[in-house]
């Protein structure tokens, strides 16, 4: 794809509104890793499977794709600052001053999220310049907070 086509592709896909999530895992030892994603989607109900796509060029790629378990925090409408932090801050300082708790496996779940899932890694498949990570959901929870939305490069919220 030439550069013009690539920009067009990003612009077109940016007009598909999504939620925003942070995928987190605990690496060997105790280091915690997390990345903002909007490639999160459900795949299967039985068994319960979800997927996220992680950029192979991301510093966190190997940590997230080799983790045996990971957590997904679906961001709430007042968490745009968290979305920016987990996309732009250096991986080493992303969790500074961010409230989180460990899921049963220790994967970080961000406090204040609209919903969360804990997953066992079920497979990692190549997807061009991304890796497609399939997760089997082993625990989950939700709140009554509204979700953060992403559309055409801007954050928003659901208006009912």
- Name the one range near ligand FMN by CB under 6 A: 36-44, 105-113, 115-123, 135-143: 36-44
Q: Does 150 bind ligand FMN (CB under 6 A)?
A: yes
Instruction: Retrieve residue 75's tokens.
Output: 């961001």
Q: Does 38 bind ligand FMN (CB under 6 A)?
A: yes
* CA 66, chain centre distance (Å): 15
Q: Does 125 bind ligand FMN (CB under 6 A)?
A: no
Residue given tokens 């801007």 in the structure block: 154
Cα Rg for the chain, rounded, in angstroms?
Answer: 15
Instruction: Quote the least distance from Cβ 46 to ligand FMN, whole Å.
Output: 25
DSSP symbol at 68: S
Q: Does 14 bind ligand FMN (CB under 6 A)?
A: no
Q: Does 109 bind ligand FMN (CB under 6 A)?
A: no
Cα separation, 96 vs 102, whole angstroms: 15
Instruction: Retrieve residue 142's tokens.
Output: 């939700």
Q: Which of 24, 25, 32, 54 binds ligand FMN (CB under 6 A)?
A: 54
Residues 110/100, Cβ–Cβ less than 8 Å: yes
Q: Does 36 bind ligand FMN (CB under 6 A)?
A: yes
Interface residue list for ligand FMN (CB under 6 A): 20, 35-39, 53-55, 58-60, 83, 87, 91, 150
């Amino acid at each position: 794809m030439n550069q013009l086509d690539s920009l067009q592709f990003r612009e077109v896909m940016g007009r598909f509104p999504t939620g925003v999530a942070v995928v987190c895992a605990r690496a060997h030892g105790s280091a915690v890793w997390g990345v903002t994603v909007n490639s999160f989607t459900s795949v299967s109900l039985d068994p319960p499977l979800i997927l996220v796509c992680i950029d192979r060029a991301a510093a966190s790629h190997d940590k997230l794709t080799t983790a045996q378990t990971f957590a997904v925090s679906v961001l709430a409408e007042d968490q745009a600052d968290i979305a920016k932090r987990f996309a732009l801050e250096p991986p080493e300082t992303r969790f500074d001053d961010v409230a989180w708790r460990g899921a049963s496996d220790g994967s970080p779940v961000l406090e204040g999220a609209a919903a969360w899932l804990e997953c066992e890694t079920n497979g990692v498949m190549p997807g061009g310049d991304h890796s497609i990570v399939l997760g089997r959901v082993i625990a989950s929870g939700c709140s009554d907070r509204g979700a953060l939305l992403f559309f055409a490069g801007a954050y928003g919220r659901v208006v009912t």
